[in-house]
Structure 1
Amino acid sequence: MIEILSAKESVKQITDGSTVMVGGFLATGTPETLVDALQEQGTGKLTLVANDTSFPEKGIGKLIVSNQFEKVIVSHIGTNKYTGEKMNNGELEVDLVPQGTLAEQVRAAGAGLGGILTPTGIGTVAEEGKQKLTVDEKEYILAEPIEGDVALIKAEKADKNGNLVYRLSARNFNPLMAKAAKVVIAEVGEIVEPGELDPDEVITPGVYVDYLVRREEG
């Protein structure tokens, strides 16, 4: 059985300087209860791995406003003006990665791969500082795997063995991150007994999940 914790207890796994993966796409599929608990805990000097930095008043964006990250690895920041301001002021390091490349780097970490080869970014600033390889006379950037110390993910439902079912597009980055972090905390709306989930609906097997947290509605 997976340990079921409160949000406040679960985020104690995150310490200053940790690399934290957070699921979601512009807050859709973001574990809001866990993000709020992390904001309250005040842990700092974090590195974020996520699709984006959301909005100032929602999801990951609240952690940007409260200055808890020193670096973010994301695919875009345009919906949160504070991310851009902090980047321009030298208060926040921003590593902008093409969305597909970012997803594949996270997937590679979960699969134990040494990285992926992508043509995206060749001839642009995205290739600066990166190793390039030529395959069949075509150049590729070697995008190395990205792993996290802790992943905060959101699912619709779990059983007590930690098997996870997602809802529609809220699935997004969550299953990838569940495989790419040392510790995985899943925020869920409902927890059922083993055997109650349809096996065909399970996307993330419980072997990847360390803790469950019931979502706080509203």
Structure 2
Amino acid sequence: MHEQLRPDEKGATTSTEVYHDRLLDLQTIWWKRLLPVQAPFRFDLRRLKLGRTLDIGCGLGRLLTALPDDSVGVDHNPEFVRHARGVGCIAYTSDEFLQSKDATPDRFDALLLAHVAEHVDADTIDTILQTYLPFLRAGGAVHMVTPQEWGYRSDPTHLNFMDFQALSDIARRNSLAVERSYSFPFPRWCGRVFKYNEFHLHARKGAG
């Protein structure tokens, strides 16, 4: 394992150039360039009709490109932010976002946290949510996505396995009402044999 690719309670290893390069290599491998592998995940995101979304931990922008044009990405890795901007997305580093015009209360219809929670400890994911929840309107959605077994094992920076119960616990601690949990793109048992199967949890912020 590369020294910079290891679990860290605060997710610091995912902010490095090494992690950016690894993810870029994985997402641009030849067979992923030939096959529309992201199409089912983008379709699933679009059908949720999230509205203007703040994509927290936007990475390379692969899901951000499927969201409405006025959606915004934020990531603590500046290399990811540069890449997301390069493909036409609105994206900020964490510090840049908090000083931007988009850091306005109630500005977004939804928060998306895709492949974030498994990288950090409980205190850190709660801090992340509490930082960005003020920018979500009352009644807005919070959608969380985490990998199932094989996907979890595939990344050396993963810290905690986050299943439906763990995601529900995050929602409960942060006063979010869980509306739905589901396995995607295949049934739950496929997560042991299919690397890209995911846990999804859809929750909602109270009306205040």
Q: State the TM-score bracket (shorter-chain normalisation).
A: 0.3 to 0.5
Q: Tell me the TM-score normalized by structure 1.
A: 0.38
Structure with more helix by fraction: 2
Report which of the two structures shows the higher radius of gyration computed on alpha carbons: 1
Q: Tell me the TM-score normalized by structure 2.
A: 0.40
Structure with more strand by fraction: 1
Greater RCO, 1 or 2 (C-alpha within 8 Å, sep 6+): 1
